[in-house]
Structure 1
Amino acid sequence: MAQHLPPLNALRAFEAAARHLSFAAAAKELHVTPAAVSHQIKGLEEHLGLRLFRRLKRGLELTRAGEAFLPKLREGFERLGEAVADLRARNEPGTLAVSAATSFATRWLAPRLHRFVAAYPDLDVRISASTRLIDPTKGEIGPGDAQAGSPVEDADIVVRFGTGDYPGFRVDKLLAASVTPLCSPRLNAGERPIRSAADLKHHVLIHDNVSFDDGRPLWDAWFEAAGMAGMDTSHGLRFNHAMLALEAAAEGMGVVLGMPVLAGSDLASGRLIAPLVLSLPLKFGYYIVSDPDAAQRSDVAAFRDWLLAESSRDPARGPNQPGAADPAMR
């Protein structure tokens, strides 16, 4: 059962008063009287059973409860604003809403997007990055769990990192994924060059938020494939985004087990190198997903075709990547 929330006007009054530390300033912003603001906040305090303000001679001061409440409330209003803006954008003619996994959007999509914009100058493209567009691995989801929500969320077309199994949606495989050790050339030119897997024990291991197919840490699976099962991989730096882990490696902070498909620009420029040959393929990959109805739209089809064309020219494509992705209704 949904929790009984306080009235929205009372929450707005509190947020404004807390921001200004003044009932009068909040009232001016909300186009009501100071007495109305005071009444709304009093009702909110009664609803919560907590005092949110101290009324002092020199003005207002937040209580500890008020200080704890304010950041989450602001975040909630920001999310509401984003939801309304996204909904309006979806209904605007000539607007294409695109979502992608965060690291993919930053490291692969954004550097190429200018070519699509140049080809379709009249199309308003809205890009949204989200970690929710990464499927859970076997170790992150229990047998009784279910993935909630639509695989396309609120977008017209998305790029997900996952299995490609999204029943009822148009699915095109964009890029296969594999991981291999990556590091700065400066690090590899130091006192401990990396010539074999055993040399990695002398370096800091960098971890990101991607796990192996069976839920194990990627480094554990890679060392097993290298014939060094049982290698201690518990130490090192940990990041919640692949892009942060790649940047740390490029700055010489250690060795990351990264995806060449996300590190393409750094590999091409020489900021990163792959000192070892062994690459570990993943069952997960990058998939273009769209609702069957949206998939028929000319703008969605144009963006999908452009993505597939861009992937075919990517020098860092995975070894099992097909020459052209076959659309599938799953």
Structure 2
Amino acid sequence: MRDRLPPLPLFRTFEAAARHLSFKQAADELCVTPAAVSQQIKALETHLGVPLFLRLTRALRLSEQGAAMLPSVQAAFGCLDEAVRRAGVVQTGGRLTVVAPPSFASHWLVPRLPAFHAAHPEIELHLASRADTVDSGGEAAVLAALDRPAGDEGCAMAIVYGAGHHAGCRVDALLAPELVPVCAPGLATAARPLHTPADLCRQVLIHSDIYGSTGRSGQPWGWPQWLQAAGVDTPVATPGRHFSDAMLAIEAALAGQGVALAARPMVAPSLAAGTLVAPFPVAIRSPYTYWLVARADVARRPAAVAFRQWVVAQAALDAISP
């Protein structure tokens, strides 16, 4: 009897598609493409010899046979989940490697990690910072960051700053940060004080290439857009200072070397401590978002699920950068 049953993954695909009544939403849940869902449903229908869905012009409906089969399929998966739970083999432990942009790792993620370790002491978390997790490095570079080293029994996830297009991966939005000017407190009250946004044209402006290299249509992005939003038409007189990473730009601002345009979530601790100040309330939305990316097979592993649920919840708690 078991030999005549279709492969179990086909039933999982059917259950997801029937629950959502959408191949696209089922594909998002299963971390595959809608075409793959359609092919698996057709394979199941061929094996059973009956149609399971009515494919209408703008809608998807269960056929009579599909509606009759769904409750039993859902009950069967419920029995499997209960069997695994009773066996006690579902563990969230193991090794998990998370790769993130340097600024995000040091200024946002690291301060929050004690909460993750307290909630999941059984997970051995390895955090790495790499510049190729910025979208300007290309999708291939991001996917390379997810590949495990030979002999590594853990799994890898990446936090990526970019557009969020990564084929074959589960992608979850974290932060779409606002950018604000920040500087050391003494700089804002120095010989050339900052009373209005136009006063920035007489200051050294610190540029982070992580933003400038990701502007739409290849155009420079960052300070020009902020100055325009603040109503400043005067061109910047000073050449400014450029850093390859936002973390270096923030460190330069902390050292009093100029005014940096920084993502508010990354400088929130420094603003709260008073080591940095935001002299003007004007903010611009970053053109891209921080995403959590994992290959589809990795995303389903217990340690990866635990980290995803935790970090998405942490991002949701960030009231400044939703």
TM-score strictly above 0.5: yes
Partner residue in 2 for 1:148: 140
Rounded to whole Å, the distance in 2 between the matches of 1:308 and 1:204 is 36
Partner-residue secondary structure (3-state), 1:157: strand
Matched to 2:200, the amino acid is L
Q: Any idea what the Cα deviations from partners look like across 1:135-154, whole Å, max 9, x if unmatched?
A: 019xxxxxxxx743453532
1:130-279 alignment runs, 5 A limit: 130-136=130-136, 147-151=139-143, 153-154=146-147, 156-209=156-209, 210-211=211-212, 213-214=215-216, 215-229=219-233, 231-232=235-236, 235-279=239-283
Q: Any idea what the Cα deviations from partners look like across 1:51-92, whole Å, max 9, x if unmatched?
A: xxxxxxxxxxxxxxxxxxxxxxxxxxxxxxxxxxxxxxxxxx
Q: Any idea what the Cα deviations from partners look like across 1:152-177, whole Å, max 9, x if unmatched?
A: 53252111001112232111110112
Matched to 2:180, the amino acid is T
| Aligned partner of 1:293 among 292, 297, 313 | 297
1:43-82 alignment runs, 5 A limit: none
Matched to 1:284, the amino acid is Y
Q: Any idea what the Cα deviations from partners look like across 1:246-267, whole Å, max 9, x if unmatched?
A: 1111222211011111111101
Q: Any idea what the Cα deviations from partners look like across 1:12-71, whole Å, max 9, x if unmatched?
A: xxxxxxxxxxxxxxxxxxxxxxxxxxxxxxxxxxxxxxxxxxxxxxxxxxxxxxxxxxxx
Is 1:213–1:282's contact at 8 Å kept on the other side of the alignment? no
Structure 2: which 5+ residue stretches go unaligned? Answer: 1-92, 148-154
Partner-residue secondary structure (3-state), 1:220: helix
Q: Any idea what the Cα deviations from partners look like across 1:241-284, whole Å, max 9, x if unmatched?
A: 21111111122221101111111110111111111111111221
1:12-161 alignment runs, 5 A limit: 94-136=94-136, 147-151=139-143, 153-154=146-147, 156-161=156-161
Structure with more of its chain in helix, by fraction: 2
**Matched residue count:** 218
Rounded to whole Å, the distance in 2 between the matches of 1:289 and 1:237 is 32
Partner-residue secondary structure (3-state), 1:224: helix
Q: Any idea what the Cα deviations from partners look like across 1:97-132, whole Å, max 9, x if unmatched?
A: 111111111111111111111221121111111000
Matched to 1:156, the amino acid is A
Structure 1: which 5+ residue stretches go unaligned? Answer: 1-92, 138-145, 322-330
Residues 236/97 of structure 1: CA separation in 2 closer, same or farther (3 Å cut): same
Is 2:146–2:295's contact at 8 Å kept on the other side of the alignment? no
Q: Any idea what the Cα deviations from partners look like across 1:222-241, whole Å, max 9, x if unmatched?
A: 22222334613661222112
Could you tell me the percent identity over the aligned residues? 35
TM-score, normalization by structure 1: 0.62
TM-score, normalization by structure 2: 0.63
Is 1:205–1:233's contact at 8 Å kept on the other side of the alignment? no
Residues 161/150 of structure 1: CA separation in 2 closer, same or farther (3 Å cut): closer
Rounded to whole Å, the distance in 2 between the matches of 1:220 and 1:205 is 11
Q: CA deviation at 1:217?
A: 3.8
Partner residue in 1 for 2:311: 307
Matched to 1:148, the amino acid is A
Partner-residue secondary structure (3-state), 1:261: helix
Rounded to whole Å, the distance in 1 between the matches of 2:309 and 2:238 is 42
Rounded to whole Å, the distance in 1 between the matches of 2:142 and 2:256 is 39
Partner residue in 2 for 1:327: none
Partner-residue secondary structure (3-state), 1:111: helix
Rounded to whole Å, the distance in 1 between the matches of 2:164 and 2:140 is 16
Alpha-carbon RMSD across the aligned residues, in angstroms, is 2.0
Rounded to whole Å, the distance in 1 between the matches of 2:173 and 2:179 is 18
